[in-house]
Amino acid sequence: MSADAEDAGRRTTAGSGGTEPSADAGVGAGPDAGSGAGVGHGASAGAGPRGADAGTGAGAVAGDWPLWEVFVRSRRGLSHVHAGSLHAPDAAMALRNARDLYTRRQEGVSVWVVPSTAVTASSPDEKDPFFAPAADKPYRHPTFYELPEGVRNL
Amino acid sequence: MSAAPDPATADLATAGALALGDDALVLSHRLAEWTGHAPVLEEDVALANIALDLLGQARTLLSLVGDEDELAFLREERAFRNVQLVEQPNGDFAHTIARQLYFSVYQELLYGQLAAGGEAAPLAPLAAKAVKEVAYHRDHAEQWTLRLGDGTETSHARMRAGLDGLWRYTGELFRPVEGLAVDWAALEAAWLETVGGVLERATLTLPEGPRATGWSAGAGRAGVHTEPFGRMLAEMQHLHRSHPGASW
Return the minimum-mean-pLDDT range out of A25-39, B167-181, B227-241: A25-39
Distance (Å) from the C-alpha of residue B17 to the closest C-alpha of chain A? 27
Within 13 Å, how many C-alpha atoms sit on residue B153's CB side? 6
**Which domain range does residue B219 map to?**
7-242
Residue numbers in A near B158 (CB within 8 A): 58
- Distance of residue B142 Cα from the nearest chain A Cα, in angstroms: 11
Residue of chain B with shortest Cα separation from A12: B150
The pairing of strands A81-87 and A110-115 is: unpaired
- In this structure, is residue B247 part of a structural domain? no
A8 contacts in chain B (CB < 8 Å): 151-152
DSSP per residue over B64-119, as a string? HHS-HHHHHHS--GGG----HHHHS---SHHHHHHHHHHHHHHHHHHHHHHHHTGG
User: B60 and B93 in contact (C-beta within 8 Å)?
Assistant: no
Examine the pLDDT at B23 and tell me if it is beyond 50: yes
Interface contact B148-A104, CB threshold 8 A: no
Q: Do A55 and B151 touch (CB under 8 A)?
A: yes
Contact B153, A11 (CB under 8 A): yes
Average pLDDT estimate for A4-15? 38
| Any domain includes B248 | no
Is there a domain that residue B2 lies in? no
In angstroms, the Cα distances linking A52 to A21, A100, A153, A154, B86 are 11, 23, 42, 43, 31
Cβ-defined contact of A58 to B94 (cutoff 8 Å): yes
pLDDT at position B210 is 76
Residue among B221, B210, B204 nearest B98 (CA):
B204
Q: Tens digits of per-residue pLDDT, A30-40? A: 333 333 333 33
For position B16, which CATH number holds? Answer: 1.20.1260.10
Question: Domain for residue B220, yes or no?
Answer: yes
Contact A54 B147 (CB under 8 A): yes
Q: For residue B35, is pLDDT > 90?
A: yes
Measured between alpha carbons, how far is A73 from A106 in angstroms, rounded to an integer?
A: 11
Lowest model confidence (mean pLDDT) among A33-37, A117-121, B127-131 = A33-37
**Closest partner residue to B152 among A11, A88, A96, by Cβ?**
A11
- pLDDT (average), residues B158-179: 92
Q: How many CB pairs under 8 A join A and B?
A: 92
Average per-residue pLDDT in chain B? 90
Q: How many domains does chain B have?
A: 1
Does residue A110 surpass a pLDDT of 80?
Answer: yes
Q: What is the mean pLDDT of residues A13-30?
A: 36
The span from the CA of B180 to the CA of A45, in Å, is 36
Structural domain contains residue B73: yes
In terms of phi and psi (left: phi > 0; alpha: psi -120 to 50; beta: otherwise), the region of B11 is: beta
Which of A138-147, B77-86, B196-205 has the weakest average pLDDT?
A138-147
- In percent, the amount of chain A with pLDDT more than 90 equals 24
Q: Which of A100, A101, A103, A105 would you mutate first to test chain B, the one with the most B CBs within 10 A?
A: A100
How many angstroms separate the CA of residue A105 from the nearest CA in chain B?
11
Q: What is the ipTM score, two decimals?
A: 0.76
pLDDT at A134 over 80: no
pLDDT confidence of B215, banded at 50, 70, 90?
low
Mean pLDDT of chain A: 66
Per-residue pLDDT band for B7 (boundaries 50, 70, 90) equals very low
Q: What is the pLDDT of residues A63-102, one digit of tens each?
A: 589 999 999 998 888 899 999 999 999 999 999 999 989 8
Residue in B46, B156, B203 nearest the CB of A46: B203
Asked if the structure places residue B18 within a domain, the reply is yes
User: C-alpha A120: how far from its chain's center?
Assistant: 13
Amino acid making up residue B68: E
Tens of pLDDT, residue by residue over B48-95, are 999 999 999 999 999 999 999 999 999 999 999 999 999 999 999 999
Rounded to an integer, what distance in angstroms lies between the CA atom of residue B18 and that of residue B63? Answer: 9
pLDDT in tens, B95-127: 999 999 999 999 999 999 999 877 667 788 899
Mean pLDDT computed over B238-248: 87
pLDDT value at residue B19: 94
